[in-house]
Amino acid sequence: MSRNYALRAVIPALILVLASGAAACQAPSQPESKSALPPSLPAPAVSTQPEGQSAVAENATWAADGVFKPGEYSQSKSFGDFELSWSTDDLYLYMGMKAKTAGWVAVGFDPSSQMKDADIVQGFIKDGLLSIADQYSTGPFGPHPADTQQGGTDDILAAAGSSDGGFTSIEFKRRLDTGDKFDKPLGKGAHKIIWAYGSDPLFTLKHMARGSGEIDL
């Protein structure tokens, strides 16, 4: 047998051995997952945020900490010594109220006459602790008991406050439409508001200043 013939006989066998070895080095195939998405579709995002710390799509810097940070709110309006700041997304209202007082501060939405039918959020800070209430006014001059005392629900999802330099600042979050008959649905557009603040950190004490106005959500 000639040397060239021997090489021609050995080369096909060598190629077969090399091909088999390459196949053996490949990663084993994974079993197909019945829940896998087609390769052309992205995997869905999963949120692990609890309700009270919900991610904010349009206002990613908002946090209930009692501090009004630059850019935290998209809109702001001053009424003398009372300041109201707010932002919204598709589901929630994020609001901060600040007044030159060491006492309580309050805002009410869409009253029908004076205070009557106003959806009110009122809060104060005492001994470093925030007390805040979701209320509804039953008459033009009150009273405005908590929603829970009238058969409704407390729909403030997150809140915090601070007291510094003679000012009280309170931030809170609620749904635009809570589904509670004692809360006003806060859709896009103009809403009448009433505001007030008192000199002492007690809900029962009368206001030292009050007023009304309009905000645009």
Tell me the β-bridge partners of 195: 107, 211
* pTM for the model: 0.71
Which pLDDT value is given to residue 204? Answer: 59
Q: Who contacts 189 (Cβ-Cβ below 8 Å, separation ≥6)?
A: 216, 217
For the stretch 82-111, pLDDT in tens is 999 999 999 999 999 999 999 999 999 999
**Whether the predicted pLDDT of 113 surpasses 80:** yes
Cα 56 to chain centroid distance, Å, stands at 5
User: Which H or E run contains 124?
Assistant: strand 119-126
Give the C-alpha separation, 192 to 181, whole Å.
18
At residue 168, does pLDDT exceed 60? yes
Give the confidence band of 217 by pLDDT, cuts at 50, 70, 90: very high
Give the tens place of pLDDT for each residue, 41-92: 222 222 222 323 333 334 458 999 999 999 999 999 999 999 999 999 999 9
- Report which of residues 139 and 21 the model is more confident about: 139
Strands 105-109 and 167-175: unpaired
36 has pLDDT over 60: no
Residue 141: what pLDDT? 87
Q: Which domains does the chain have, with CATH numbers?
A: 60-216 (2.60.40.1210)
